[in-house]
Chains A and B, each alone.
Chain A
Amino acid sequence: MRLIVSDSPHLKANYDTSWMMRQVIYALIPTGVASLYFFRFRAGFIILNCVVTSMITEEIVMRIRKRPSTIKDGSALLTGLLLAFILPPSVKWYAVSLGAVFAILVGKHLFGGLGNNIFNPALVGRVFLVATYPKTMTTWIEPFSLQAVTEATPLALRKFDHILTPVSNLFLGNSSGCVGETSAILLILGGFYLLIRKVVDWRIPLSIIITVSLISSIFYVINPLNGSVSFHLFSGGLMLGTFFMATDPVTTPISKKGRFVFGLGCGILIMVIRYFSGLPEGVMYSILFMNACVPLIDRIFRPKSLGAIGVMISKRRKK
């Protein structure tokens, strides 16, 4: 009889890291299909390019670092997929590859690999591309147009031309924007799948949505041209950012209270950028900024140990 000797506990939950990654990828499938429908082969090429480049980069980096291969855990695939979803459909293939390499190499591995990165790698990749190719990264095309008819995004139309895109277009995805962020309904569907399967925590999405709704409703009352609540919720990268970027466990606070604060901060920053800055959209910068605040949030909102609370209570009673 050969027996294993180990420390307790001897039972473990049946999910693991790669299961979690897979669930997020499944949740993104409807959006991916929709992007193929709206932007045709352009979307297909970008997604394929991103995913393959990310996975190859991951494998090479892990070989250089002399660590076991982590291709199977799905984290590189997920980063690639998310990066593809936040790129404009007209972006050139070399820019896409470069962004994917940067996301994995700098965004993830320079910080120490999975679990140690401070910033969301996909967003790091996009920030790099925005800085490197400012023109192509802000050129948008109409859905279904194969000749690349340029058109401003709904948020840019609101900001610079005071034209409000109908919410139904935003909801279904028939508007210009990044590859995977135009269809709000499918992103919400994916987000709910993740919440139901308990892959992501509900606190961050909820607090972002509540914050954005509150702020935008105040501004809508002041001037309807500022855009309604549903316009702000369903436009730009808000739904993708809320359900898939801001919920990335690695780059978010560990305490429940901290997660509420994280969502609150994201929501406020998004609306501040949308209303008061020179940029039409601010989901990416908001999440990255809040990522940087995570150590601070973790420190301030550290959960209290039950025993320490007990000590506090008994001291108070003595007084």
Chain B
Amino acid sequence: MIHIEERKLPQHNIPIVTFFHPKKLYLHLSQHTGRSSKLVVNKGDLLEEASLIAERDGLISASLSSPVKGYFKDIVSFNHPSLKRGLAVVIEREESPNKIYSFNKKALFLKRDALLDKIQKAGIVGMGGAAFPTHVKLNPPKEIDTLIVNGCECEPYLSCDYRLMVEKSEEIFKGVEIICRIISPKRVLFALEENKLEAIKKFNSMISTKRIPLPNPKVIILSSRYPTGGEKQLIYVLTKRIVPLGGLPFDVGCLVHNVGTIFAIYEAVYYNKPLVERVVTFAGGALREPKNILLKLGTTIRELFDGGILSFKKEPLKIIYGGPMMGITLKGLDYPVMKGTTGILFLTKEEIDIREESVCIRCARCVDNCPMGLLPLEFVKKVKQKEYIYLNDLYIKDCIECGVCSFSCPAKIPLVHYIKIGKKYAVNR
């Protein structure tokens, strides 16, 4: 665990703005962990907003709905941040007022299965970055006693979750109440980092008014250290329980949900609104005005610049999809926003480190700081010597790729890069 300069200003204190008028949308069929969604519409169809485009294929998959009213133009291979290229549905938006979602009066009386069905149909996935289908997570094979609401947002620059917590705190509480109806936990812990003052205040007052009944709710303020917001770290810090190697949080009776996901659940249940939009942080030294923007999934970054929503102050040297610690570098502006996009960062030469790798001096900062208690320097040694058979004995699969080792390395060794290679080749002896 380390302290990293936050760099969350000014976007931290600027209200969310909206951008609902993209000309063209590129909706990837693979926006989540698991199998790609299966297309259910035909080329040339006129799609209504919130109508189903693709349904889930198998258990670990998610459905996809149209974010706007428009024509299904084509299906093309388009830039994908993690897959490089992926099949994407191209939708041309029809000029029409945005759909108004009506309040679902029955929402308060829905039972577990009906709620799960609604969440599944809405295509909700984890919105903190990993994009794991939420309906699977909400249907664990074991009993859950602790629900953790993850509002840590420990990555520098990002502030979309914070803005959501400040501006939609009541909605988030209603979302938590829905989750409690599904999994009936014994307590609810709201985990927030100390730098999120406004959100802490709002959450505490929400709890004290008791308007939304939750089982033993409590706000827990954590010191802002990276990576506190990681699922396994959060569980350990809050409950002192350790998720076993290869296990999932439900193995220790915990369930962790990001506030963005919870907000999406609220909208899906109370307004029958599928996951078609999300808040994304656009920040970095290259931007004139960093912003948190609520936008339609599939909007390309280029459209935001063409539409004058964003503009460059300086030339960026790196464009990052996600946070600066775990994000993926992009090769240009033609990438769409997806369900798991937390931020797009435009970093200048001054903000990133491009010093060259030198030799390891065994200072063990990577070992001391590793939140998973691993030996990152040994991984690098083994990968460099191509001794892949030893990697599993060192628990390389336990690595969460948080980037703490590379960050703290004085020799500037890109440890995560070597670990990713090692994970590909690691085999069981």
> In the assembled complex, which residues on chain A have CB atoms less than 8 Å from the CB atom of B420?
7
Q: How many A-B residue pairs have CB under 8 A?
A: 168
Q: Is B331 an interface residue (CB 8 A)?
A: yes
Closest to A256 in B: B368
Q: Given contacts A12-B412, A20-B363, are A309 and B403 in contact (CB under 8 A)?
A: no
Q: Given contacts A3-B318, A115-B360, A310-B242, are A9 and B367 in contact (CB under 8 A)?
A: no
Q: Is B244 an interface residue (CB 8 A)?
A: yes
Q: Is A147 an interface residue (CB 8 A)?
A: no
Q: Given contacts A3-B331, A307-B244, are A250 and B410 in contact (CB under 8 A)?
A: no
**Residue among B244, B414, B416 facing the most chain A CB atoms (10 A cut-off):** B244
Q: Is B329 an interface residue (CB 8 A)?
A: yes
Q: Given contacts A11-B353, A73-B358, are A310 and B4 in contact (CB under 8 A)?
A: no
> In the assembled complex, which residues on chain B have CB atoms less than 8 Å from the CB atom of A13?
407-410
Contact B331 A254 (CB under 8 A): no
- Complex formed: what's the CA distance from A302 to B361 in Å? 18
Q: Is B315 an interface residue (CB 8 A)?
A: yes
Q: Is A135 an interface residue (CB 8 A)?
A: no
Contact B412 A310 (CB under 8 A): no
Q: Is B372 an interface residue (CB 8 A)?
A: yes
- Complex formed: what's the CA distance from A114 to B325 in Å? 28
Q: How far is the CB of A232 from chain B (nearest CB, A)?
A: 29
- Which range contains the number of A residues in contact with the other chain? 35 or more
> In the assembled complex, which residues on chain A have CB atoms less than 8 Å from the CB atom of B403?
8-9
Q: Is B425 an interface residue (CB 8 A)?
A: no
Q: How far is the CB of A3 from chain B (nearest CB, A)?
A: 6
With beta carbons under 8 angstroms apart, the residue of B317, B359, B397 that contacts A115 is B359
> In the assembled complex, which residues on chain B have CB atoms less than 8 Å from the CB atom of A311?
244-247
B308-331: CB near A (< 8 Å → 1, else 0) gives 000000011111101011111111
With beta carbons under 8 angstroms apart, the residue of A3, A9, A302, A306 that contacts B326 is A9
Q: Given contacts A20-B363, A306-B371, A307-B398, are A11 and B329 in contact (CB under 8 A)?
A: no
> In the assembled complex, which residues on chain A have CB atoms less than 8 Å from the CB atom of B328?
8
Q: Is B411 an interface residue (CB 8 A)?
A: yes
Contact B362 A249 (CB under 8 A): yes
- Complex formed: what's the CA distance from A253 to B347 in Å? 37
Q: Is A276 an interface residue (CB 8 A)?
A: no
Binds A, one of B16-24, B96-104, B266-274, B373-381: B373-381
Closest to B405 in A: A9
**Taking beta carbons and an 8 Å cutoff, which residues of A are in contact with B?**
1-17, 19-20, 73, 113-116, 201, 249-250, 252-256, 302-311, 313-314
**Taking beta carbons and an 8 Å cutoff, which residues of B are in contact with A?**
4-5, 156, 232, 236, 242-247, 251-252, 315-320, 322, 324-332, 345, 347, 351-355, 358-364, 367-368, 370-375, 377, 394-395, 397-398, 401, 403, 406-412, 414, 416-417, 420
Shortest Cβ-Cβ A-B pairs, 5 listed: A9-B403, A307-B245, A310-B244, A12-B353, A310-B242
20 contacts between A and B (CB under 8 A): A3-B316, A3-B319, A4-B318, A6-B329, A6-B414, A8-B322, A8-B327, A11-B4, A11-B5, A11-B325, A11-B353, A12-B407, A13-B410, A20-B361, A20-B410, A254-B362, A305-B245, A306-B243, A307-B242, A310-B243
